[in-house]
Amino acid sequence: MSDQGKSERDVGHAIHYSAVPEGTAVYATDDVEVGRVEQVVDNYREHILDGIVITDTEGVVRFVDGPEVTRTFERAVFLSISAEEVAEHGPPEDGPGVFSPGRAAGRLGKLFGGGWKKR
């Protein structure tokens, strides 16, 4: 997808992948909306995007690998693959899980690595 296609749509400002809200539209390279974000999967240890879980337009849950995500905006995520390629992706595999900040851990707990909880 060209930057021109992005500018024709109100996608908002570019944001870090960790700030992408659930329900954000996901677009393939052929300018087709292929689904909506269900979950952003972050590899916290290495500080990289592992991938995103989307529900496609037919209600099927699919996993898109991190390198296939090109840009993240307030109201859109753009992929480096076509809609046809997205349709070939399966659901996410069971893995180490997705973690979020454990707000109740306290300062001492966070110091010793207890500041994260598995979702």
Asked whether the beta carbons of 59 and 74 are under 8 A apart, the reply is: no
Give the percent of the chain with pLDDT over 90: 61
pLDDT digit string, tens, across residues 52-64:
999 999 999 999 9
Indicate the pLDDT class of residue 105, thresholds 50, 70 and 90. Answer: low
Q: According to the model, what pLDDT value does residue 7 have? A: 47
Residue 107: left if φ>0, alpha if ψ -120 to 50, beta else—which one? alpha
Q: According to the model, what pLDDT value does residue 43 have? A: 85
Q: How many domains does the chain have?
A: 1
pLDDT digit string, tens, across residues 61-81:
999 999 999 999 999 999 999
Residues 23, 33: Cα–Cα separation, whole Å: 12
Residues 30, 89: Cα–Cα separation, whole Å: 16
Domain of residue 61: give its range. Answer: 3-118
Rg, C-alpha atoms of the chain = 16
Strand partners, 16: none
pLDDT of 119 above 90? no
Look-up: residue for tokens 């037919």?
Answer: 58
pLDDT of 111 above 80? no
